[in-house]
Structure formats: C-alpha cells, structure tokens
Amino acid sequence: MVPSATGDGEFHGPSINEFFPDVIFFADTPFEINRIILIRFIAVAVLMLVFWLGTRRMKIIPTRGQSLAEMGLDFVRVNIAEDLLGKKDGKRFLPLLTTIFFMVLFMNLTGIIPFLNIAGTSVIGVPLLLGIIAYATFIYAGVKKNPAKFFRNSLFPPGVPVGLYIIVTPIEFISTFLVRPFTLTLRLMMNMIVGHLLLVLFFSATQFFFFTADGGFKLFGAGTLVFGFAFTLFEVLIALLQAYIFALLTAVYIQLALAEEH
C-alpha cells in the first residue's frame, strides 16, 4: 500500500493498478515474480513453519503449540469434511479441503499484516486456480462414483415434469458447470480486492487529511483512521470467513456430486 499523497496537494484514491506492482525478477518470462508473488511465498513459508512446528513432535497429551495446530486441523476435519461428506469420503478429500482452507486463510491474512498489506488471494491466479481445482474435484468425485447417475442427476433433476426439462436442463447446466467455479473465484477475489481498496482508501485519506489538508479538515483524519482500524479488524473476520466458505462450498459441491439422489 503506497499512500498516494504526492506533493501536488491533491488526493489520489487507490486504483486497480495496486494489484499489478512492478516486476522484480524474471521480467518478460512466464515466471515473473512481483511483490504479490513474493507475499504468497511468504504466506506459504509461514504456513508450513506453523504446521511443522505444531506437528513436529505429536504427543497424546498436546502441548500448547500442538493443540493450536490440532485445533485448526480439527476444524477442517470435523466441521467441514466429516460434517458434510461423512467419515469415509471426508477422509478421502481431507487433504484437498485442508489445503484449500489454509492456503486461502494464510494468503487472505497477508492483507492486514503491516508491510505486506496486500492479500495473496487478491490477484486472480490463486482464486481461479483453486476454483478450477474445486470444479475438477467435484466432477471427478461424481464421475468416479457413477458417471451416468452423476450427469443425469445434475442435468435432469428427478421429480420434474418431462416437458420442463427444456428449461431446467440448460439452467442446471449453467449453474452447475459454468457458474460454480466462476462464483467461487469471484467471491474470494472480489472480497479481497474490495477489502484492500477500502483499507487503502481509509489510510491514504487519513494521510491526506493529516499532512496535506488544512485547518478543520484535519479532524476528518481521525474519523478515517478509526474507520480504517475497524475495517482492519473486519478484514480478519472476512479472511476467516472466506477461507471457511471456500472450503465449505467445495465440500458441498463434492457432497452433491456424491449424493445418490440430487
């Protein structure tokens, strides 16, 4: 986040170019690395460090660090995987759901960490990739269980009069096979983009009011600072909630694909 108050005494709001910082390494190759990519690497490193430390020496009676790691893993295992998919299928898809949950969570949280200040998920790569993986997974789950039944249940839902299939089938096709990955991606990415833009707006406005504006306008700075702080806390909640929802919806889609009846 670069406060945009330049010397010309004007206020510059945040723009979408925030999400396309300058390339640092490997310019003009498919392996370009810019600031956001580096932030993602940091998030991955922190994630692995936390869980490596938490699960290094597993004991039956957990230490404090271990119980924290266990709590996180149990949250995904019990509340998402086993709750929606049951014990057996839950165990099958647990690695994927755990990965999705913690990857999204840690990359979301970089958005409010000082000096990182931008979420790793706010550029389309990660949300799109995870959306496609979730999409591929639920189709794989359905096809592996019973291809004919999966497609019949998703395209021709039972209990609908035959004539209505002309309308229902295209709608089901669009909602199941086109909209699902798209909404998964957009929900996560837009949440993070909007959250980041709001924070930048509040803090750059604070900067502007305090250092550039004159007289009574300086008071507004206090207001924008408080709002910025409140939204920072709100972003923590959003980060958790989006990670939860992404993993939960993936589990729901898999559950629907595995269901005997639609």
Nearest to 199 by CA among 128, 127, 119: 119
Are the beta carbons of 199 and 1 closer than 8 angstroms?
yes
Stretch that binds another protein, among 17-25, 148-156, 157-165, 225-233 (CB under 8 A): 17-25
201 closest CA partner among 7, 8, 9, 16: 16
**Is residue 73 near another protein by the rule CB under 8 A?**
yes
Closest to 4 measured CA to CA, from 254, 207, 218, 178: 207
Per CB under 8 A, 239 contacts another protein: no
Per CB under 8 A, contacts with another protein among 32-51 are: 32-33, 37, 40-41, 43-44, 47-48, 51
Question: Whose Cβ is closer to another protein: residue 26's or residue 211's?
Answer: 26
Residue 113 binding another protein, by CB under 8 A:
no
Q: Find the binder of another protein among 105, 109, 193, 256 (CB under 8 A).
A: 193
In this chain, which of 5, 118, 119, 130 binds another protein, going by CB under 8 A? 130
- Relative orientation angle of helices 125-145 and 180-211, to the nearest 10 degrees: 160
d(CA 155, CA 199): 43
Q: 16, 148, 162, 237: which one contacts another protein (CB under 8 A)? A: 16
Which of the residues 154 through 183 are near another protein (CB under 8 A)?
183
Answer yes or no whether residue 139 interacts with another protein by CB under 8 A.
no
Q: Does 60 bind another protein (CB under 8 A)?
A: yes
DSSP 3-state helix, strand, coil percentages of the chain (rounded to 5)?
Answer: 75, 0, 25
The answer to the question of residue 117 lying near another protein (CB under 8 A) is no
Helix axes 125-145, 83-109, angle to 10 degrees: 170
Residue with tokens 């999400």: 19
204: enclosing H helix or E strand: helix 180-211
Residue 58 backbone phi and psi in degrees, to 5? -75, 125
Identify which of residues 70 and 229 has a Cβ nearer to another protein in the complex. 70
Residue 94 interacting with another protein (CB under 8 A): yes
Q: Which stretches of the chain bind another protein, using CB under 8 A?
A: 10, 12-13, 15-17, 19-20, 26, 29-33, 37, 40-41, 43-44, 47-48, 51-52, 55, 58, 60, 70, 73, 77, 79, 83-84, 94-96, 98-99, 102-103, 123-126, 128-130, 133, 183, 186-187, 189-191, 193-194, 241, 244-245, 248-249, 252
